[in-house]
Structure 1
Amino acid sequence: MAELKRLQDRLDRLETRLYGDRPLQAVQFVDAVVKIQASLGNISNKRERIKTLYKKIDDLMKFLDPQYIDRIDVPDAMKLEFILAEEEFIHSQVHLLELVKKQQPYLESEHIKAVPDYSSKVQALIQVQIEEQDQCTAITEDVTKMLDEYNKMTLLLSKQFVQWEEMLTKFEAAKQIKPSSD
């Protein structure tokens, strides 16, 4: 009896440490969960659809299992139908495999096997290419700016030439008018 009292005290201390001074709330929570579970059980027992669903949960879990298809015994006739349905796809895959087999000597060549040895060199070349692309972009931008400036300058010169042409035409017209009036 003393041992039982000691264990009860120890349990009370642990509950106090775990729940604080509110072990009653924990009990109330457990009671509420039990009531909810009982209510759900009562509701489900009253509804036939829910009863049927509960009975089928095991079957549903079995069907949802990814390895379920592997465990099904399929008749040979059904397997033959699957194969015949995929005949065109199988032929295309065979053709692709034959192409790969023809290319196998190339894939197993010393050049392909040496690719890992050249990876550092390729990385250096990639870096150089990136830098050159950046330079090319900068040059392209500079050329575009220069072309814009050239176009502006050409437009301004064209306008200036048109103005000079108009002025020259006016002066020539004025010069021709003066001598005829003398």
Structure 2
Amino acid sequence: MAAVSDVRRLQARVEELERWVYGSGGPRGSRKVADGLVKVQVALGNIASKRERVKILYKKIEDLIKYLDPEYIDRIAIPDASKLQFILAEEQFILSQIALLEQVEALVPMLDSAHIKGTSLEQRIHFQNLRQFGPKDTSPFLSMPPACSAWPRSTSSSRYGRGEDWKRK
């Protein structure tokens, strides 16, 4: 019964396609697209009935269609024992997520403080960017490497166009 309704639905879709392709006048020739499709289907069926491997492939295609159906998974009932095994397998991960959630909940009062509520969104974004891209360890930047202290300094001109002789005046 379902196959008959599927064929009728397919035939209606093909007729709609013919109207789109050929216009309201119908096909110019006497053959319709549906007739050509039926002939191709019959020819494929005849070929498939003669070959055993093709029959097996058709059966596998039907199985694939059945398994790929989204409603198929809904029809499969997973036993409670399997569900319990899934949960127990993820127990450590779930416990670590609970610990992280408790830490976040403990920090919520800090987020509700007047200091944070008083800042604008632009300031918070700016400070977040500074924290994110700022140096993590500033100790290498506080001391100058020995090679830098031995660099020669120019006496003829400086950055501002004045030489060393401006100090003597």
TM range (shorter): 0.3 to 0.5
TM superposition score normalised by structure 2: 0.45
Larger Rg belongs to: 1
TM superposition score normalised by structure 1: 0.42
Higher relative CO (Cα under 8 Å, sequence separation at least 6) belongs to 2
